[in-house]
Structure 1
Amino acid sequence: MISVYIVTGLLGTGKTTLINQELRERKKLGSTEIICFEEGATNSIKEPLSIDPDEIEEDLPHVIHQIQDYISSTNPKEIWIEWNGMFAFQQLEDIFFNSILKEFCHLERVIYTANTNNITPMIQALGERVLSQIYSADHIILYSDDTRKTKSVRTLLQSYNSECSILINPSIEDFHNQLSHPVWPWSLYGIIAILTLYILLVTVFRHSISYSIHQVLAIASGIIFEGIPFLLLGTIISTGIALFVPDRWLMRYLKGDSIKSYCITAGSGLLLPICDCATIPMFNALLKRGIPQHIGLLFMLASPIMNPIALLATYYAFPDTPSILLYRILGGIIIACIVSLTFKWKPHQLPKVTNNLPLAKDYQYTLSSQESNKKKVFLLHVEKEFSQLLIYFSAAAFTLALFQVWIKPTFLSSSLDVAAPIASILLIILAFLFSLCSTSDAIIGRSLNNLFPISSVLGFLWLGPMIDLKNVYMLRQYISASFILRLVITIAITTYIMTLLFQILYIL
């Protein structure tokens, strides 16, 4: 496959100069070809193939065959493309994702060049054409001679593409080193590196390493591999909601405050066998589509409890007291409703975009309604969002492994004689810290049943699926810290009060 590097940006932002400098640094001029879709004031280091971008709309097959013939005659190992900043990035994709060129060309990196003096007004003037390039960029090179503007422009660009690296007035060496970094998210490499190190440690130094370290690595890797399918499923469903579910359907069933909307939201978990970590990206997707906060929260809090797998696990964990299953369902739904209603009575003010520019990444849903483009956008969005969530989930997994190895045994080793109110506080805290999957926390709950009052155990089973440490990590990807803090406190207080009421009723 031929690696294709794309440098795009508005006229006068140094695209040709950047390509020339990088090709000198890479010392691969003999095996590299250049394709220009615009003519600037600077000459290319090597005679390029020049193509008028207007030809793409007039005769796309001719442009594709022209590039195919050029590649066949030069036989390059790399291709550098200077793309016109006035044309949407989708037009370039139409060329290289064509059935002819995609067989032997691979889009390796996209570099966007910008100048702080004109990028903001040009985004406002050109809209989707500029945003499509910014969103597709792996790297943004920002040239600035005004340090006061640099911070605001950087923030603006990151609002449209939070995953790209932004370099301010980079040297040739800085840009070359950045371009040499791997494309995969660091979390994927980190997981692979840690697991590889773990295997080496077990193989070579198994007698010299503490058993607890083996436990931490084994539990963390187990949590990650167990959670990946649910994360991916949640991301796929949330992206499907954003792209394919009509607004009229969502607004019809979830927008209002009718009993029907609450029942549909609270009971949707029965149809979606997903754990708590998978509901978070779906909650974010609902908020983006205009669903009220309290309805989205009711879905996020109630679905893991109504998960049929979690219900089945609870039934088998407590075979002698099947009523616990009923208590868990009723108590969980009541807590979810109360917490959600507090956000209805006093909605939390989420951060809003303070300018009149298009919302971050919104352009991708309006580029084209063709089925092929929707599929491409769907896969791209799933890939990016899943990679982001995996970073937070991996960090949470290793934190949780430390808690499970060094803290949890203290509470499971012997019976603790504590009063029900104190026990409820203790188990609520443990449910938050242990961050067990909602499909398996009933097994731990069964062990706790021999140590603590049943009301405290139910508090453990109620709070865990709604909010825990790993969920906080993942929610922080989408929501402000103040929103999360209020949510955690509200759930904890409501759950604690519910355990006290249950203890009184249970005794009576």
Structure 2
Amino acid sequence: MIIPAWVITGLLDAGKTTLINRLAEEELKEQEILVIQFENGDVPLKESERIRHLSYTKSQIEETPFEVSERICEELEKNPVDLILIEWNGMEHFHTLEQMFLQFRTKPLVSIEKVIYAAAGEALESRIADSGTISMSQVAASDCAYLRTDGTAKLKREGRVRLKVRSDLPVFTDDHWDRFINKLLRYDLKPQLWLLSVSAAAVLYLLVKPVLGPAGYPLDVFLTVFLGVFLQAMPFLAIGVLLSSAIQVYVSPDWIQRKFPKKMIPAQLFAVFAGFCLPVCDCASIPVFKSLVKKGVPMSAAVTFMLVSPVINPVVILSTWYAFNGNAKMVGVRCGLGILCAVLTGITYLLFPPKKVFAGGMLAGKAEGWEDYTLLSGNPERSSRFFQLMRHAQNEFFSVGKYLLTGIFVSTLFQQLQPAMVRSGTGISMGASILFMMAMAFVLSLCSSSDAVVARALAGSFPLGAVMGFLVFGPMMDIKNVAMLLSGFRKTFIVRLMATVFVICFTAVFLFAAFDSGGIRL
């Protein structure tokens, strides 16, 4: 039997033991619980017949982590429980816990289901800043945060802001206990299960197909098109994720920052060159963009690099060439429009530099080190780096894969339902088609290494100009990019960036379409 575990982490005096006591007494009354403490504070743990207790020191998990996990496994095999509550040491990197509980010996016994970051509102900014990447690793791994504010409205407001280094991290306070418990008791579908769910749905359809008979909707055609696009896109997504992860692991952001020229024109040219040479997707380009701005790289060049790298890197070029059957003109136009729009957007920041860029508090001070949580601390040997690469690539693949599946589903649905509604010449103008496809690219949030396959599937229902709007605007700006930008930049900066990219991309693509799409035919 696999026993679920909840991890409560956070700095010393954040109220971790107090939170465990309240959970055990108020919400988990019927559960047999094992509490494992890797840190002992001033508040004692309330034990009872249904609550057992194990305690280990910081030196034990630093010197003999696998011996500790072995003892935990032996205890669970002798005396299994319904739930494990783990109080993690606030000054220990979260990857140490992952190494202990995700190894072959422990993984069949323990499943980490929830990670809660406990924090106290007072002096939160300075305390997290002092702990550096240790706190970053804990916040990054958390499913939600519980903020102890002692009823002070100012601390609630400031604490919420300073924990929003992850824009998607839910933050609960003392007066939202019921919502906090609902979050803990609700289990979301993990990203790794998305592909399994799709496979299960396909098998289920094959089983019920004989019962359905000659149904009105051509499900056979839908599945054939869906699986065809899916199988074409997966290899490029895998290649893009592997290369992007390799850069995250092996190429230091400091190296990129040192290579960037400080003058405007050389910096713009180097930004385009770096965007071609570094095969990073749009997800990876934003952390690099933060680092560049913090290190004094001209804002115009940093913006150009962030926007151009997901459009013109070799993986995107290869996937576009493959998706459009070796049409070199399509590849050239996509790269050319991508470079033009990125450079023009960068120049606007040279002509009208923003007064304020970063959000206040800890967000600006720690944005450049945020990506460090994905890497293991300690041994920098090649074998260790390789495992870092594979784990990073695995997480990235399943995280981005669900966006790709959604995009393929929507594109296939458009082909099968009423393509005549959106085909050029049947009542919808070219400008409206471009706007619609740009909006779709923003909502679907596809990975740039595989979006060309989805665009090719839509080419039969939309004019070429609209498809080009999908290919150029989507990698530069979509929902997940905006969410990542919100983790460190002011909203005024993000709104200006979105508006500028949108206007420039629409204008460039509309002019391209107005001149008969350059004579390109698919």
The two structures have a TM-score, normalised by structure 1, of: 0.72
Amino acid of the residue matched to residue 308 of structure 1? L
Report whether the alignment pairs 1:18 with 2:19: yes
CA distance in 1, matches of 2:80, 2:240: 43
- In the alignment, what sits opposite 1:42? 44
Change (3 A) 1:91 1:252: closer
DSSP-derived class of the 2:483 partner: coil
Unaligned 5+ runs, structure 1: 273-277, 317-324, 449-455
Partner of 2:172: 167
Question: Are positions 1:155 and 2:161 aligned together?
Answer: yes
Distance verdict in 2 for CA 1:358–1:255, change over 3 Å: same
Asked if structure 2 preserves the Cα contact closer than 8 Å seen for 1:216 and 1:405, the reply is yes
Counterpart of 2:17 in structure 1: which amino acid? T
1:51 aligns with 56
1:494 matches 2:500: no
Cα deviation digits, residues 219-239 of structure 1 (max 9, x gap): 788877765665554444333
**1:64-100 C-alpha deviation (Å, 9 max, x unpaired):** 5554554455344543222333444344445435665
1:243 equivalent among 249, 252, 265: 249
Show CA shifts across 1:424-478 (max 9, x none): 5465446536769424656765787xxxxxxx74x35643421259963443333
Task: Supply the AA of the counterpart residue of 1:410.
Answer: M
CA distance in 2, matches of 1:443, 1:183: 31
Say which is worse superposed, 431-440 or 149-158, in terms of deviation: 431-440
For residues 91 and 305 of structure 1, what CA distance do their matches in structure 2 show? 34
Whether the 8 Å CA contact 2:12–2:41 is kept in 1: the answer is no
Cα–Cα, structure 1 residues 118 and 283, in superposed 2: closer, same or farther, change >3 Å? Answer: closer
Match of 1:336 among 335, 338, 345: 338
Following superposition, the deviation at residue 241 of structure 1 comes to: 1.9
- Indicate the larger mover: 388-397 or 281-290: 388-397
- Paired with 1:103 and 1:305, the residues of 2 have a C-alpha distance of 38
Question: After alignment, is 6-15 or 256-265 more displaced?
Answer: 256-265
Which residue of 1 is the match for residue 420 of structure 2?
409
1:361 pairs, out of 354, 360, 370, with 370
2:36/2:55 contact within 8 Å kept: yes
Contact 2:147–2:171 (8 Å) recurs in 1: yes
2:452, 2:508 → 1: CA distance?
Answer: 19
Instruction: After TM superposition, list the pairs within 5 Å mapping 1:210-289 onto structure 2.
Output: 211=217, 230-231=236-237, 233-247=239-253, 250=256, 257=266, 261=270, 264=273, 279-289=281-291
Alpha carbons of 1:346 and 1:53: their partners in 2 closer, same or farther (altered >3 Å)? same
Q: Which residue of 2 aligns with 1:467?
A: 473
* CA shift digits 1:182-203 (9 cap, x unpaired): 1435896799499859959986
Matches within 5 A, 1:15-414: 15-24=16-25, 25-27=27-29, 30=32, 32-37=33-38, 38-45=40-47, 46-60=51-65, 63-64=68-69, 66-71=71-76, 73-76=78-81, 78-97=83-102, 100-102=105-107, 104-144=109-149, 145-159=151-165, 161-169=166-174, 174-185=179-190, 192=197, 196=201, 199=205, 211=217, 230-231=236-237, 233-247=239-253, 250=256, 257=266, 261=270, 264=273, 279-290=281-292, 292-303=302-313, 307-312=317-322, 314=324, 325=327, 327-347=329-349, 351-356=357-362, 357-359=365-367, 361-364=370-373, 365=375, 367-371=377-381, 374=385, 378=389, 381-382=392-393, 389=400, 404=415, 408-412=419-423
| SS in structure 2 of the partner of residue 148 of structure 1 | helix
Deviations 1:385-443 (A, max 9, x none): 5566456556656665665556631354xx8499xxx9754654465367694246567
Instruction: Report the AA paired with residue 490 of structure 1.
Output: I
Which has the higher mean CA deviation after the structures are superposed, 191-200 or 53-62? 191-200
Cα pair distance change 1:207/1:358, threshold 3 Å: same
Name the amino acid aligned to 2:309: F
- In the TM superposition, what is the alpha-carbon distance from 1:172 to its structure 2 partner? 6.8
Distance (whole Å) between structure 1 residues aligned to residue 63 and residue 196 of structure 2: 48
Larger deviation: 108-117 or 475-484?
475-484
Query: Following TM superposition, by how much is the alpha carbon of 1:244 offset from its aligned partner in structure 2, in angstroms?
Result: 1.5
Q: Residue type matched to 1:408 in 2?
A: P
**Structure 2 unaligned residues grouped into runs of 5+:** 293-300, 442-449, 486-493
Please state how far the C-alpha of 1:490 moved relative to its aligned partner. Answer: 0.7
Paired residues, number: 476
The AA in structure 1 aligned to 2:87 is E
Q: Is the 8 A contact 2:420 2:461 kept in 1?
A: no
d(CA) in 1 for partners of 2:408 and 2:315? 21
Normalising by structure 2, we get a TM-score of 0.70
- Assess, with a 3 A threshold, how the Cα gap between structure 1 residues 10 and 249 changes in structure 2: closer, same or farther: closer
CA distance in structure 1 between the partners assigned to 2:403 and 2:454 by the alignment = 21
Percentage of matched positions with identical amino acids: 18
Per the alignment, residue 438 of structure 1 pairs with 452
The CA RMSD measured in Å over matched residues stands at: 4.9
SS of the residue 1:243 aligns to: helix
Q: CA deviation at 1:146?
A: 1.0
1:462-502 residue CA offsets vs partner (Å, 9 max, x unmatched): 43421259963443333434323321221221233344557
SS at match of 2:112: strand
Deviations along 1:288-325, one digit per CA (max 9) or x if unpaired, are 45372213433333348972353355457xxxxxxxx4
The one-letter amino acid of 1:307's match is I
Greater CA drift, 75-84 or 425-434: 425-434
Q: In structure 2, how many angstroms separate the alpha carbons of the residues matched to 1:501 and 1:340?
A: 21
Q: Structure 1 209/202 Cα, relative in aligned 2: closer, same or farther at 3 Å?
A: farther
- Matching residue's letter, 2:504: T
Q: Which amino acid aligns with 2:506?
A: A
Equivalents in 1 of 2:325, 2:31: separation in Å? 68
Q: Name the CA distance, whole Å, in 1 between partners of 2:322 and 2:94.
A: 49
Is the CA contact 2:117–2:144 (under 8 Å) kept in the aligned structure 1? yes
**Secondary structure, in 3 states, of the residue corresponding to 1:438?**
helix
2-structure distance, mates of 1:67, 1:253: 49
Contact 1:283 1:299 in 2 (8 A): yes
Name the CA distance, whole Å, in 2 between partners of 1:409 and 1:351.
45
Alpha carbons of structure 1 residues 55 and 228: separation in structure 2 relative to 1, 3 Å: same
C-alpha contact 1:142 1:166 (8 A) present in aligned 2: yes
